[in-house]
Amino acid sequence: MLEIKELFSGYEDIDIIKEINISINKGENLFIIGPNGCGKSTLLKSMANIIEYRGSVKIDEEEVSSLDRITLARKIGLMSQTSQIHFPYSVYDTVALGRYAYSKGALSGISKKDKKIILESIENVGLSDLKDKMITELSGGQLQRVFLARVFAQDPDVILLDEPTNHLDLKHQIEILQYLKKWVKDNNKILIGVLHDLNLVHYFADRVMLLDKGEVVSYGKASEVLNNERIESIYGIDIKGFMQNVLEKWR
Ligand SMILES: Nc1ncnc2c1ncn2[C@@H]1O[C@H](COP(=O)(O)OP(=O)(O)OP(=O)(O)O)[C@@H](O)[C@H]1O
């Protein structure tokens, strides 16, 4: 179980995230929504202990800020919005980096089991044909799937994904989200994701958290949180009306 209590975090003594309290069971996903700048990425970074927090973030009773790097990497994996490429690694080598928490460090030292997991992770995002290609030669969507495969290879208990599908075409968005949902259920993991597409959130989320100005406005099932009046008051747009309008244009 992931338990967050009285969580505050931010930058340079200014709190962006204020008083978050949630608990999520294994096998469940939670999607965080909210307008630009409301603190979604900051919340994920706090959970992954990339930025300091006050309050408590516990995975199976263990405070994440007290874990060493290797244990933390086995417990929690973050795919952030701005995964930068600095080195011309192949797809395989990039995904292999996900296994560092289980190996002795050097890529040459990875085990047969690691190899199998790396290849399966690449296959699960549909990139087997590109496994030897340099990541500098990939499209944005292919690259995003490489980073997803790296998180799968890392195989943490809690997976944090910041806009995991924003570079993907609709088919791949749906396929990846379907796969993630199943992966979470089958392997008793916890997924916390940030998505802007409220249709996809409606369809895939077990739980939804609506954030505004760093505070939780609403938390619960998608059908409870995604109430048109509430969404309009936070986003300042009649999203349901807009969607209905668009749908009518389809033949
Ligand atoms: N490294 C940083 N230093 C100082 N302030 C930051 C830093 N990163 C983010 N912020 C500020 O914190 C606030 C929340 O940013 P955050 O990236 O968490 O929002 P978000 O909800 O993920 O936004 P988006 O939907 O645009 O990705 C913003 O006002 C942003 O300017």
How remote is the CA of residue 16 from the centroid of ligand 1, in Å? 8
For 187, the domain range is 2-84+156-243
Q: Given pLDDT bands bounded at 50, 70 and 90, which one contains residue 187? A: very high
Closest-lying ligand 1 atom to the alpha carbon of residue 81: 27
Task: Please give all residues whose beta carbon lies within 6 A of any atom in ligand 1, as ranges.
Answer: 11, 16, 34, 36-42
Q: What ranges in 103-238 are assigned the alpha helix state H?
A: 112-124, 140-154, 170-187, 198-204, 222-225, 228-235
How remote is the CA of residue 103 from the centroid of ligand 1, in Å? 34
Closest-lying ligand 1 atom to the alpha carbon of residue 211: 21
Is 128 domain-assigned? no
Please give the pLDDT value at position 105. 55
Is 114 domain-assigned? no
- Percentage of residues of the chain with pLDDT beyond 70: 96
Mean pLDDT, the chain, integer: 91
Give the residue, by CA position, lying nearest to ligand 1 atom 29. 37
| Cβ-contact 189, 1 below 8 angstroms | no
| Cβ-contact 235, 38 below 8 angstroms | no
Is 77 domain-assigned? yes
Closest CA to 42 of 67, 74, 78: 78
Q: Which CATH number fits the domain that encloses residue 212?
A: 3.40.50.300
How remote is the CA of residue 39 from the centroid of ligand 1, in Å? 6
Q: Given pLDDT bands bounded at 50, 70 and 90, which one contains residue 251? A: confident
| Least confident stretch, 72-86, 150-164, 195-209, 210-224 | 72-86
Give the residue, by CA position, lying nearest to ligand 1 atom 27. 36
- Can you tell me the distance from the alpha carbon of 18 to that of 194, in angstroms, rounded to the nearest whole number? 18
Q: Which residues pair with 63 in a beta bridge?
A: 58
Give the residue, by CA position, lying nearest to ligand 1 atom 1. 11
How remote is the CA of residue 36 from the centroid of ligand 1, in Å? 8
How remote is the CA of residue 41 from the centroid of ligand 1, in Å? 7
Is 113 domain-assigned? no
Is 38 domain-assigned? yes
DSSP codes joined into one string, 74-110: HHEEEE-TT----S--BHHHHHHGGGTTTS-S-GGG-
For tokens 């995604």, the residue is 226
Is 133 domain-assigned? no
- Give pLDDT tens digits for 156-184: 999 999 988 888 899 989 988 998 999 99
- Can you tell me the distance from the alpha carbon of 203 to that of 220, in angstroms, rounded to the nearest whole number? 14
Within 10 angstroms of residue 30's Cβ, the number of other Cβ atoms is 17
Closest-lying ligand 1 atom to the alpha carbon of residue 34: 21
Helix (H) or strand (E) holding 190: strand 190-194
- Can you tell me the distance from the alpha carbon of 27 to that of 1, in angstroms, rounded to the nearest whole number? 9
pLDDT at 86 over 80: no
List of residues 6+ apart from 148 with CB closer than 8 A: 79, 125, 161, 164, 176
Please give the pLDDT value at position 120. 95
HSE on the CB side for 20, CA within 13 Å?
Answer: 35
- Rounded mean pLDDT of 67-92? 84
| Separation of first and last alpha carbons in the chain | 45
- Give pLDDT tens digits for 112-146: 899 999 999 999 999 999 999 999 899 888 988 99
Number of domains making up the chain: 1
pTM given for the model: 0.92
Give the residue, by CA position, lying nearest to ligand 1 atom 13. 37
Is 90 domain-assigned? no
Is 235 domain-assigned? yes
